[in-house]
Amino acid sequence: MARPLWHDEVFTVWASRLAPSELVRVLRFDSGPPLFYLIEKPFVAAAESLALSDATDRLVSFLAIAALFFAARRLPAGARPRFLWLAASSPLLLLYSSEARAYGLLALLGFVLFRLAARDAPQAAGRAAIALVAAILSWTHYLGAVLAGSLLIGCLVVKRRRAAAAIGLGLVLFLPWVPVLLSQPAAAMSWIRDRVGVSAAGFLASLGGSVRVLPPFGRPLPEPVLWLACAAGLGLLVLLLFLRPMDADARLGLSAVLVTLGGIAAVSLWRPAAVAGRSEMAVLPIWLWLAARAGESSRGARRSVAAIAAIGIVSSLLILTSPRASRPLAEVPARLESSARAGDLVVATANFYLPALLARDRGRLGGHLRAFPADLENHPGWFRSEAPSENDYRQLAGEIARTAPGATVFLLLDPPYWTPRLRDALPARGAPARPETLSYGILVVSPAR
């Protein structure tokens, strides 16, 4: 809990402070639906009013993952310890239980929808609950809509038409957001560059008890561990596919897992969506439930569960003992917060604009804040990898030239942006620029004229 927030978590905090109408406007230039940010809003407000750490905003994810453990109560007595072992040893659940992102809540809601849909002939109240959870799931994360669609297909396959109709109603309730979804820029997801093979191997590794560790979480796990997990995941998948007899609940759960992961990969052919080490959160609890339950009738399944739990324990220990990358880029240097005053100009680039924006909105950063390049102000949650254009430099030079006499210009820069072209814009103020190299960036101060 002591580690600083990273960029996506800072976006969660910043977006959760916005009014609903402003949040919708911001998301038109970003990605994702709005519900998770609205759920986070009271937690963010409480943390700020009580002067608590921003890490408090991870509580939603922690509570969601913790709630999954209560699913064991609905399993047969012999399957309960297997589910608890699998959940407790899962490195994927470990990682996302302490992230101020939607994935923990996605996992919980997806599992709840699965269990509701698995009921025989749900009555009116049950169908209403299914529709409501399907809608909430879809409004929380786009992966939730994919899972809901997969469960709808699965319900039709196992002839649970009432549940299928209720899920369909929940998806209809998501339709008002679709125009915003279609207007969101593809560039917001351009950082996703997973190849199909990488995604498939990562998915199998997560099903087999390990995880592809993404850069914000630290160092990758050793490849032998991942390949062993892939083998374990594939082995259990084959076993479940051929396990007989397979009841309707198992067929529904297995189809949800396969159609969801396959659907995510298929959507990626149109727009990047599959991220191994993250996407699996939509179905992981369902998979663990299937594995634990299969052990009731199959010795092979029990052995597979033991192997997957062992791999999970090893993977989790490696993650916990491995140095986790510090993310100071999510913080504005204390010197800048204490020095910038009204009338000063603060310019921030890619990794620094969003944290500076949050600091300004909280009243901790004085002066006029500007992004470089300027279009970053429209989408602070993501940034392009291209170099600034000549027009970007001209706009910045104009901003600097218009700075009032007696004001100071502060540049908070990712190192690649400290270029000769940018240096040329500062001497025009008649004062030398003093660059200070930070461990993660450059703070350039051009004193008052």
Buried b (16+ CB within 10 A) or exposed e, 206-235: bbbbbbbbeeebbebbeeebbebbbebbeb
The predicted pLDDT at position 428 comes to: 61
The predicted pLDDT at position 250 comes to: 93
- pLDDT, one tens digit per residue, over 183-212 is 999 888 877 777 777 888 999 999 999 999
Contact status, residue 342 vs residue 369, Cβ threshold 8 Å: no
The share of the chain scoring above pLDDT 90, in percent, equals 70
Q: Examine the pLDDT at 1 and tell me if it is beyond 50.
A: no
- Look over the chain and give the mean of its residue pLDDT values, rounded to a whole number: 91
The predicted pLDDT at position 23 comes to: 97
Q: Beta-carbon neighbour count of residue 21 at 10 Å?
A: 8
Nearest to 364 by CA among 16, 43, 54: 54
Three-state DSSP state, 413: strand
The predicted pLDDT at position 331 comes to: 79
List the beta bridge partners of residue 412. Answer: 348, 443
Q: Residue 8 to residues 31, 211, 317, 381: CA-CA distances in angstroms?
A: 12, 20, 25, 7
Three-state DSSP state, 437: strand
- pLDDT, one tens digit per residue, over 110-161 is 999 999 999 887 899 999 999 999 999 999 999 999 999 999 999 999 999 9
Quick one: pLDDT band at residue 344, thresholds 50, 70, 90? very high
- pLDDT, one tens digit per residue, over 10-38 is 999 999 999 999 999 999 999 999 999 99
Give the ranges where 247-298 is alpha helix by DSSP (H).
248-267, 284-294
Q: Examine the pLDDT at 372 and tell me if it is beyond 60.
A: yes
Residue 191 has φ and ψ, to the nearest 5°, of -70, -15
The predicted pLDDT at position 328 comes to: 63
Cα(79)–Cα(288) distance, integer angstroms: 11
Lowest pLDDT segment from 13-17, 88-92, 242-246: 242-246
> How many degrees, rounded to 5, is the angle at CA 282 between CA 277 and CA 285?
95
Nearest to 72 by CA among 59, 61, 62, 85: 85
Lowest pLDDT segment from 80-89, 175-184, 189-198, 294-303: 189-198
Burial of 287: CB neighbours in 10 Å, binned 0-12, 13-18, 19+: buried
Buried b (16+ CB within 10 A) or exposed e, 25-38: ebbebbbbbbbbbb
Render 369-412 in DSSP notation, one character per residue: EEESSGGGGG-TT----SPPPHHHHHHHHHHHHTSPTT--EEEE
Contact status, residue 281 vs residue 257, Cβ threshold 8 Å: no
Q: Beta-carbon neighbour count of residue 165 at 10 Å?
A: 16
- pLDDT, one tens digit per residue, over 252-270 is 999 999 999 998 887 777 7
Close Cβ partners of 92 (under 8 Å, ≥ 6 residues apart): 206, 211, 277, 280, 281, 284
The predicted pLDDT at position 401 comes to: 85
Cis ω before 447 (30° cut-off from 0): no
Q: Examine the pLDDT at 449 and tell me if it is beyond 70.
A: no
Amino acid at 30: D
Chain centre to alpha carbon of residue 371: 24
Close Cβ partners of 90 (under 8 Å, ≥ 6 residues apart): 209, 284, 288, 312, 316
Q: Beta-carbon neighbour count of residue 189 at 10 Å?
A: 17
Q: Examine the pLDDT at 430 and tell me if it is beyond 90.
A: no
Q: Examine the pLDDT at 325 and tell me if it is beyond 70.
A: no
Question: Can you read off the two tokens belonging to residue 299?
Answer: 């010795």
Cα(246)–Cα(316) distance, integer angstroms: 32
Chain centre to alpha carbon of residue 226: 22
Q: Is the dihedral of CA 419, 358, 181, 280 positive or negative?
A: positive
Quickly tell me which residue has 């009921």 as its tokens.
119
The predicted pLDDT at position 11 comes to: 96
The predicted pLDDT at position 327 comes to: 63
Cα(160)–Cα(252) distance, integer angstroms: 10
